[in-house]
């Protein structure tokens, strides 16, 4: 467990973070999270000490690429086929209940 040179995070700072996050937090949790956040910050500070000279930045662990298909025009489905299972239709369109009163 990391104890030496752990940054001091106060329960008041945890309370401030909780307030900004719009969450309620108990006094007991403020004390617990203060210690946990301090250890997390200490660990991040230790990582910054690692020599990464000559190491390329890694944004993803797997290659990413787009797969495109040829965009060729074609006939659309017939309106009658699309509307065949519609519970209600009107003038060649789907009839939907009014959502916003007017």
pLDDT at 20: 96
Along the 102 residues of the chain, how does pLDDT read in single tens digits?
444 555 689 999 999 999 999 999 999 999 999 999 999 999 999 988 999 899 888 878 888 888 888 889 999 999 889 999 899 999 989 998 888 865
Report d(CA 27, CA 14) in Å as an integer: 10
pLDDT at 17: 95
Alpha helices in the chain (DSSP H): 11-20, 27-47, 79-83
pLDDT at 98: 83
Domains of the chain: 11-47 (1.10.20)
Q: Is 6 exposed, middle or buried (0-12, 13-18, 19+ CB in 10 A)?
A: middle
Decide: 71 and 41 in contact? Cβ < 8 Å: no
Residue 85 DSSP symbol: T
pLDDT at 4: 52
Tokens at 72, concatenated = 């060729």
What is the value of pTM for the model shown?
0.47
């Amino acid at each position: 467990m990391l104890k030496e040179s752990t940054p001091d995070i106060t329960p008041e700072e945890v309370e401030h973070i909780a307030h900004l996050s719009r969450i309620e937090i108990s006094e007991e949790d403020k004390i617990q999270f203060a210690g946990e956040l301090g250890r997390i910050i200490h660990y991040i500070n230790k990582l910054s000490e690692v020599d990464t000279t000559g190491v390329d930045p890694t944004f993803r662990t797997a290659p990413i690429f787009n797969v495109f298909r040829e965009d060729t025009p074609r006939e659309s489905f017939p309106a009658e086929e699309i509307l065949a299972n519609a519970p209600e239709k009107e003038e060649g369109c789907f009839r939907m209940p009014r959502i916003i009163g007017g």
